[in-house]
A and B are shown apart, each in its own frame.
Chain A
Amino acid sequence: MSVSNKGYSAADEVGRVFTRRTRMQRIWIDLKKAPPTAIFGMLVIFTYLFVAVFAPLIAPYGEAEIFPQPYAPWGGEHLLGTDQIGRDVLSRLIYGARNTIGIALATTFLSFLIGGGLGLIAAINRSWLDQLLSRAVDVLMAIPSLIFALMLLSVFGSSIGSLILIIAVLDSTRVFRLTRSVAVSVVVMDFVEAARLRGEGLGWIMRREILPNIMPPLVAEFGLRFSFVFLIIASLSFLGVGIQPPTADWGSMVRESASLIQFAQYDLKAGLTPLLPAGAIALITVAVNYVVDWFLHKTSGLKDEH
């Protein structure tokens, strides 16, 4: 084009300072601007994930390997001592990261698959199906989820499969509500109508037209749901009806070593043993909350007014 050399062009002006960045570079810039709490949260999450993935390489002993001395003190051969039947606590903590995080992640994914899918369908349908699903969710949400989970576990028995399924279904009610409420405002937009008139099917409209537009709140919700699911699974395991031994899991580890706490006067380290897995649970939920907080602020463009 010949016009571009003459006169003023805004595009040229911008072009002089604009540098094209790859997606990685843009993410890196965002990361450098993150507040310290979010960086701390991400560090914790990555450490946990690393430990979870490479558990067999890091752990000094096997998950259910039994040593002759139960309740061994800290230090020496067993860095954090052994538990009531002589299993190495440190190794179980490391394997616990793998099992607990894995199960919680699987549950959250499943609950998003169920809740998110049904929520989208309800938002697109907006008639009897929407009514039916919404009322059903109302009823399910009227029962406190820990109580409901306890009841269903007593019926189906506590195996890992039923645990994941029950908690995913109970949790998907909240995902459903959120997805439906954010998707409803997108469904009425013109481009969805255009896609429908073009003759696209339900699956296409859900995936290609609506989902990209409601991603940010869903991602934030994923973090929140994950920490909630994590806490519920830990609580259930702690109550003895969640993940069953000999699978290492933080909730049941707290339960098994709880009696050690009464010896804290004589040996403080022994008293701290039950607090380690409990602290590990607390740390990851705090970390996830920090990261979600930062993400929400960034995507919603809200100014920090606290």
Chain B
Amino acid sequence: MGFMTLFFVSLIIFSSIQMLPGDFTQAVLGQAATEETVEAFRKELGLDRPAYLRYLDWVGAVSTGDFGTSFSGRAASGVDRSRAVVDLIAPRLSNTLFLAGMTALIAVPLALFLGITAALWRNSIYDRLVNAMTLTTISFPEFFVAYILILLLGTLWPVFPSLADVTADMPLGERIYKSALPSLTLTLVIVAHMMRMTRAAIINLLASPYIEMARLKGQSGARVILRHALPNAWAPIATVIAFNLAYLVVGVVVIEVVFVYPGVGQLMVDAVSSRDIPVVQASALIFAATYILLNLIADIIGIVTNPRLLHPK
């Protein structure tokens, strides 16, 4: 199912170039482009061949890691200073993965802890406090949270740098220090979602009859949670985590722009502004594939931890 979706998604992303208005070659090469350079450019893009052949070629190339070449750096005279999309994306992809990974490492345990404790002490002051805080951060746009953090931690009390200009040859410690603010922002945004969903899942579970049965048998609270509730909670929790990591993929775009973090998201936004379609396609494909993959993993974990789903009625 996941692969079917991926196939259709790749088809949609591929066809985006199909929908371009006819004169885009001129927009790319400039007004002064001669007939020959335009023709050569069209040929290079393969626009003189039928669409299905081009699709097959594109999929074949993408699967070997070749995303084509960027539109930028081309000139009317036919001089080609453009770079391969892979060279543009590869270093940035590792940066983005670093940021997302760092955020996930902080956010997932924190959210699970908050969610489970809030569910256990339901209706306590602690629960209400955590709930109110997460409800407000959910409704805020990411960049609002980001700028508040910059204002507080970046300029008024300069603890962290507000520009996250990481480079590949930086030592790990400095890298973490530089990307502290972006990952803190992302953490705030996704912890709220994750915590609420975890809390709802656990509360739902604690209301089921077999938990009440275990309590009535006189088992200790810890044993009820660890032996009875948790095994059945893995599936919803895994779904929550995967869903939010997928959300992270989208949130990363805005955050990278705010902090000028050199990641794929920023590259994609720049490419959209300059209408550099191959770069946009490649980044969109990467984001979409990650998103689909994470959702697929959530489904698989759900099925593995709950054998009943293997036997549909």
Q: Shortest distance in angstroms between A302's beta carbon and chain B's nearest beta carbon?
A: 14
Stretch of A9-17, A27-35, A273-281 on the interface side: A273-281
Whether B253 pairs with A151 at a CB distance below 8 angstroms is no
**Chain A residues with CB under 8 A of B303:** none
Given A147-B253, A275-B144, A282-B140, verify A142-B9 contact (CB < 8 Å): yes
Given A281-B141, A289-B139, verify A150-B253 contact (CB < 8 Å): yes
**Chain B residues with CB under 8 A of A59:** none
Stretch of A109-117, A203-211, A232-240 on the interface side: A232-240
Whether A275 pairs with B151 at a CB distance below 8 angstroms is yes
Please tell me the number of chain A residues within 8 Å of chain B, measured between CB atoms.
46
Q: Shortest distance in angstroms between A273's beta carbon and chain B's nearest beta carbon?
A: 10
A271 within 8 A of B: yes
Whether B155 pairs with A139 at a CB distance below 8 angstroms is no
Q: With CB as the reference atom, state the residue of chain B lying closest to A153.
A: B272
B234 within 8 A of A: no
Given A261-B155, A265-B155, verify A151-B16 contact (CB < 8 Å): yes
From 109 to 141 in chain B, residues with beta carbon under 8 angstroms from any chain A beta carbon are 123, 131, 135-136, 139-141
Given A150-B284, A151-B280, A262-B162, verify A143-B147 contact (CB < 8 Å): no
Whether A154 pairs with B141 at a CB distance below 8 angstroms is no
**Chain A residues with CB under 8 A of B283:** 147
Whether A150 pairs with B269 at a CB distance below 8 angstroms is yes
B183 within 8 A of A: no
Whether B254 pairs with A235 at a CB distance below 8 angstroms is yes
Whether B288 pairs with A142 at a CB distance below 8 angstroms is yes
**Chain A residues with CB under 8 A of B253:** 146-147, 150, 239
B20 within 8 A of A: yes
Q: Shortest distance in angstroms between B245's beta carbon and chain A's nearest beta carbon?
A: 12
Partner of B250, one of A147, A156, A238, A254: A147
Whether B5 pairs with A142 at a CB distance below 8 angstroms is yes
Whether B139 pairs with A254 at a CB distance below 8 angstroms is no
Q: Which chain A residues have a beta carbon within 8 Å of chain B's beta carbons?
A: 138-140, 142-148, 150-157, 227, 231, 234-235, 238-241, 254, 258, 261-265, 268, 271-272, 274-275, 278-279, 281-282, 285-286, 289, 306
30 A-B interface contacts by CB (under 8 A): A138-B5, A139-B5, A139-B9, A142-B8, A143-B291, A144-B246, A144-B250, A145-B250, A147-B268, A148-B284, A150-B280, A151-B13, A151-B281, A154-B16, A154-B280, A155-B17, A227-B139, A231-B141, A234-B141, A238-B257, A239-B253, A241-B269, A258-B147, A261-B150, A261-B162, A265-B155, A271-B155, A274-B147, A278-B144, A282-B140
